[in-house]
Structure 1
Amino acid sequence: MDNKGFELQEGLPNSIPYNHHKETYATPAQEKRNPCSLMRIFLVCFLACLVTTSIGVLILSLVYVGSVNEKASREVINREINPNPPQKQAETRYSFLNRLGKSKEYLFEGGAIRWARFRKNPQDYNNENELSFGNSISSHRSKMTVATLRILGNGLRVPHWHFNANEHGFLIQGKAWIGVVDDGANTVATFNVTVGQVLFFPMNTLHWVKCVSDEDCLFILFFTTHDELKTLDMDDAFFETPEDVASRSLKPEGGVEFIRTFKKPAADQAINLPGNLMDLVQNANYVQAADTLVWQYFYDLKGSKQFIYSGGIIQWARHRKNGAGLSDKEKIYSDSINRHSDTLTLGTLRIYSNSLRQPHFHFNAHEMGYVISGCGVVGVVGDQPVDEFSVEVGDVFFFPIGTQHYIKSTCVEDFYMILAFNTGNQLETLDMDDYFHATADHILAQLFRKKQDEFKKIPKFQDDQAVIKP
C-alpha cells in the first residue's frame, strides 16, 4: 500500500524507528522478523499457561479425591465402632424431666399406655429428650419407671405379672376392681379402688385391673426398676404352652380338643375389650375380700391423715418404724411394703397458688413425680448446673438421691401431684431452713463472709415450713 499515512495509523510503520535511548537504528531485516517472534513468544506463554493450569487442576483433583476417600473411610470405621451414632444433644433439664403426657401412646383394644422409662436400644426412643431421661434414671440406678395406664369403661388390664419389678399405682379417674393372686393361690385378694387410692402388686404376683365405671380409668403407675420392664400376660403364657401340656395341667372336659378351641388374637391383648363382651359375660360379681387381706395391696391415700402446712398439704402411703399415726389397716400396708424388697413410698403433694415446697433433699431415696393438675416451676441443685424448668399436667420429674430441689406453684389453681420415693423404709428428708438453723452461726459467718450477728435475721418457726406461702 502506497498510502504511508494509513500504515502509520495501523501501527505498522515502514520507516526506520529511532531509538532515543541508545541512538541506534533497527535494520530492515530485524524489522521483518519482529511480528513472527512476538507470535512465537505469545504461543509459548499460552502453552505454558495451559500446561500449568492442567497440572494444577490435576493436583487439586487428586487431593480432593483423597480427602473424600479418607472421610468415607473414617465414616465406615466410626459406624463399625459405634453403630448407633450419638443423636442431637438434649437440654440438661431433660435428665430430670419427661413430657409423658405428650409422648407416644401405645394403643390396645381396651385402652392405652404411655411410658417414661429406660430402653436398651437408643433407637426405641422417640426423641433425644426421652433418651436423656431414660439414661438418667438408669445411670442413677433409680429403681423407678413410670407409666400412665388408660383402661376404657369395662376394659381389662389382663392378668399378668412382672419379673423384675414391684408395681405401685394411683387412680386418677374412674373406678376399678382389682385381683391379686398370691403364692399357690391360697388366697385371692379382690377389692375396689376409687380416685385417690393406692394399689400395690409385689414382684411376680399375678394381678388384674378391671375398669368397672362408664368413664375411662386412668392410673399413674410406678415400677421398681430402672431397666427395661419384663412382663408376662396370662394369655401369652397359655399360648406359649404346648397343647398337651396345657391339657394335662388344666384337665378340661374334652381334653386337648378343648384346648385347641382357644384362638390367639392377632393383636396384643394387654388391655382387652372384646366387641362381643356382653355375649361372653352374663354375670360379673365384683367381690370384696377381707380387709386383713386387702390392705396388704391397698391404701386409702385420699382418706388418710393430712399434713397441713401454710402453703399446702401432703398425704402419705408409707412405712413408719413405730406405726405412729397409722390406723390398724394402714399398719397392714406399712408392714407389707416394708416386708417386700425394693418397694416405694407414695405421697400426694398439693401446693397452693404461688406457694413453695422449699428446697430439700432426701437421704435414702430417689424421687419421681407426676403432675395431676395445675402448673409450676422446678429447681434442681445437683452435680451439674440446671436452669429452672416449667412443669404442667402430664409431666414427670425426677430427683436423684441427695439432689436438692424445690417446687413452686405458678398457676391460679392448686398444683397437685403424686410422688414416689424408692424406699420401703421410713423416708428421710432435710429442708433448707432446718439445715441452716442446725449449722452454727460462726460456721455460717465464715462460709458466707458475713458477720455472725447477721444470721439472727433468719427466723426459726415452731411449725414445719415444708410447704410455705410467698
Structure 2
Amino acid sequence: MDNLAFEMQEDGARNASSVGKISPFSNSEKKRQWSLVSIFLLCLLACFITTAVGVLTLSLVYLNSKPHLERETSPPHTMVSQVQKAVDPKFQFLNHLPKSKVFEFPGGAIQWARYRNNIEDYLSDEEEAFGTSLNSLRSQMTLGTLRIKSKGLRAPHWHFNANEHGYLVQGTAWIGVVDDGGEVATTYNVTAGQVIFFPKNTLHWIKNMGHDDCFFLLFFSTHDELQTLDVDDVFFSTPEDIASRSLKPEGGVNFIRNFQKQTEDQGISLPPNLAELVLNATYAQSPDSLVWRYFFDLKGSREYKFPGGVIQRAQYWKNGNELSNNEKIFSEFLHQHQNALALNTLRIYNNGLRQPHFHFNANEMGYVVSGCGKETERLKRFYIYEVEVGITDTQRTIEFNIHVGDVVFFPIGTQHYIKNTCDEDLLFVLAFSTGDQVQTLDMDDYLQATSDHILAQLFFRKQSEFKKIPRFTEDQAINLP
C-alpha cells in the first residue's frame, strides 16, 4: 500500500534537502555580484583619479607654457605695465635727458636717450616710453651726450650697427679716423659749432686738447641698442699668442703679457700719471680732401634766414652748386653711406614760431642746447617753461613744454611746431633719419597750394574768406607775430 504520508514526508524532506542545497548557491551568487560591483566602483574611481591627474597635468603644462608664448608675442611685464602704468603720452616724444643715468668714466661721462633691450635698464616709466617709441616706430635714431675732461680720450672704438654724427657744443678736440686697410689715418681739429661724421664700423677716437671740458651731442642711425667695441677690450680679449704673432713686438709674447687690464672701464680714459706716459703729443691735421669726408663746419656754413630765426644744415644736397668744394666732399661722402643722418641747427628768436610742418622722408630728433627753461636763482627746484612744443598724429595733438637738455622726437609724417616765448634765443641741434635731402612741408605752404574752392567745401566757409590768408615773399618757416 502506498503510504501517502510517507510520500509527502519524503517529498518534503527532498524539498527541504533541495532548499538546503539552494541556499549556499544563492550566497555565492551574491558574493560574485558584490565583487563585480566592487570592480566597477574601483574602475570608476580609477577613471576619476586618472581624469583628475590628466586635467591637473594639462593645467600645469598650460601655466608653464603661457609665459613662454606671451614672451614670443608680447612680454607679460610689458602687458602689465601698459595696464598699470599711467604714463603721460608726451613721453613718447620727450626725454628729460638730465634725469637719466650718468655713465661715469675716469675721463668723462655719457648719457643716453635710447632704446634698451633689457627693460630693467630704464630708470623710469617715462624713459621706457621714449625708448619704446624710438624702437617701435623704427626711428633709426639714438642720441648720446659725451663729456670729455681736459686731456681725456674717448678710446678708439667702432660701432657695429650705426653711423655716428656728432655736434661739438663746447671745447676743442682732435679727431682720428682709420680708413679701410689702415694705410691712412685721417686726423683733424674741431671747435664748437662743427660737425663730425663716422661711418659704421669705422675706427675713430676723440681727444680733448683744451683746458675746458668737451661736450658733444652724438646721433646714431639705429633704433636698436647701440653695439660698440673699444680697442682695449678687443686687445685684452685676444689670446696672448695670437696678439704676439699679429703685432710681432720686441720681446714677443712677454711684451703682450706686460699689459694689464684696468679695473675701471677706460671708455673715456684719463690716467692719473698721464704726464709720465705721454711726453711728445702731436695733433696733426690731414689734407682737406681727407678731412672733409668726416668733418663739416656747420657754424661757418650758409645761414638760411627767416623772420623768426635761422637754420644751418649739414646734409646731402642734390644740387650742390652753392656749396664750397670742401662742402661738396662732405655731401657726396655722406650720400655714399646707407642710413646716414642729416644734421641741422635751428635758432628761434624771442616770440618766434617754427610753424607747424612735417617731413616726408625722415624722423626727427632734437636736443635743446640753450634758451629758456633754466633753473631760477631763487627757486632751484623749479623750471621756467617758456618753450612750447606741439605734435599731431592720426589720433590727437599733444602739447608739452621743454627746457635745456631735453630731447624731442617727431616721427615721420607727424605735424609739429616749436614756439619760443622767452626773452632769449632758443637753439636746437636736430638730426633727421635720411641720407638724402630732407623733404618738408609747412602749414602755410600746403594751405596756399590747396584750391580755395576745395578749402571752402572742407571748412564750410565762403571761398572769398580764404583770400584773407596772405602770401609772403619771404619764407615763413620760422615766423614772428
- TM-score of the pair, normalised by structure 2: 0.81
Please state whether the residue corresponding to 2:461 is helix, strand or coil. coil
Give the drift of 1:75.
Answer: 11
Give the drift of 1:302.
Answer: 0.2
Deviations 1:25-61 (A, max 9, x none): xxxxxxxxxxxxxxxxxxxxxxxxxxxxxxxxxxxxx
Q: Give distance in 1, aligned partners of 2:194 and 2:461.
A: 49
Q: Give distance in 2, aligned partners of 1:435 and 1:205.
A: 42
Question: What is the identity, as a one-letter code, of the residue corresponding to 2:97?
Answer: L
Identify which of 401, 405, 411 aligns with 1:394.
405
State the partner residue of 1:233.
230
Please state whether the residue corresponding to 2:156 is helix, strand or coil. strand
State the partner residue of 1:366.
363
Deviations 1:222-245 (A, max 9, x none): 000000000000000000100000
Question: What is the identity, as a one-letter code, of the residue corresponding to 2:227?
Answer: K
* Matched-pair contact (CA < 8 Å) for 1:118–1:138: yes
* Matched-pair contact (CA < 8 Å) for 1:93–1:386: no
Give the drift of 1:469.
Answer: 0.7
Q: Give distance in 1, aligned partners of 2:273 and 2:421.
A: 47
Question: What is the identity, as a one-letter code, of the residue corresponding to 1:454?
Answer: E
Q: How does 1:236-315 map to 2 (within 5 A)?
A: 236-315=233-312
Structure 1 residues 79 and 339: alpha-carbon distance in aligned structure 2, compared to 1, 3 A threshold: closer
Give the drift of 1:397.
Answer: 0.3
* Matched-pair contact (CA < 8 Å) for 1:92–1:386: no
Matched, 1:460 2:471: yes
Identity of aligned pairs, percent? Answer: 60
* Matched-pair contact (CA < 8 Å) for 1:176–1:209: yes
Give the drift of 1:120.
Answer: 1.3
Matched, 1:446 2:457: yes
Q: How does 1:76-155 map to 2 (within 5 A)?
A: 81=70, 82=75, 84=77, 86-87=80-81, 88-155=85-152
State the partner residue of 2:480.
469
Deviations 1:85-144 (A, max 9, x none): 533231110000001122111111110000000011111111010111111111111100
Give the drift of 1:84.
Answer: 2.6
State the partner residue of 2:381.
none
Please state whether the residue corresponding to 1:137 is helix, strand or coil. helix
State the partner residue of 2:179.
182
Question: What is the identity, as a one-letter code, of the residue corresponding to 1:446?
Answer: Q
Question: What is the identity, as a one-letter code, of the residue corresponding to 1:432?
Answer: M
* Matched-pair contact (CA < 8 Å) for 2:392–2:414: yes
* Matched-pair contact (CA < 8 Å) for 2:311–2:344: yes
Matched, 1:409 2:420: yes
- TM-score of the pair, normalised by structure 1: 0.83
Q: Give distance in 2, aligned partners of 1:76 and 1:396.
A: 41
State the partner residue of 1:423.
434
Give the drift of 1:384.
Answer: 3.2
Q: Give distance in 1, aligned partners of 2:370 and 2:99.
A: 15
Question: What is the identity, as a one-letter code, of the residue corresponding to 2:442?
Answer: D
Question: What is the identity, as a one-letter code, of the residue corresponding to 1:261?
Answer: N
Q: How does 1:30-45 map to 2 (within 5 A)?
A: none
Aligned-pair RMSD on alpha carbons?
A: 1.6
5+ residue gaps, structure 2, are 1-61, 373-386
Matched, 1:168 2:165: yes
Q: Give distance in 2, aligned partners of 1:185 and 1:76.
A: 53
Give the drift of 1:76.
Answer: 9.4
Q: Give distance in 1, aligned partners of 2:360 and 2:115.
A: 24
State the partner residue of 1:343.
340
Moved more, 78-87 or 266-275: 78-87
Give the drift of 1:388.
Answer: 1.1
Question: What is the identity, as a one-letter code, of the residue corresponding to 2:157?
Answer: H
Q: Give distance in 2, aligned partners of 1:257 and 1:83.
A: 52
Q: Give distance in 1, aligned partners of 2:371 and 2:175.
A: 29
Deviations 1:146-194 (A, max 9, x none): 0100000100000000000000000001100000001001211100000
Please state whether the residue corresponding to 2:398 is helix, strand or coil. coil
Q: Give distance in 2, aligned partners of 1:308 and 1:386.
A: 28
Please state whether the residue corresponding to 2:154 is helix, strand or coil. strand
Q: Give distance in 1, aligned partners of 2:293 and 2:432.
A: 19
Please state whether the residue corresponding to 2:218 is helix, strand or coil. strand
Question: What is the identity, as a one-letter code, of the residue corresponding to 1:377?
Answer: E
Q: Give distance in 2, aligned partners of 1:425 and 1:220.
A: 21
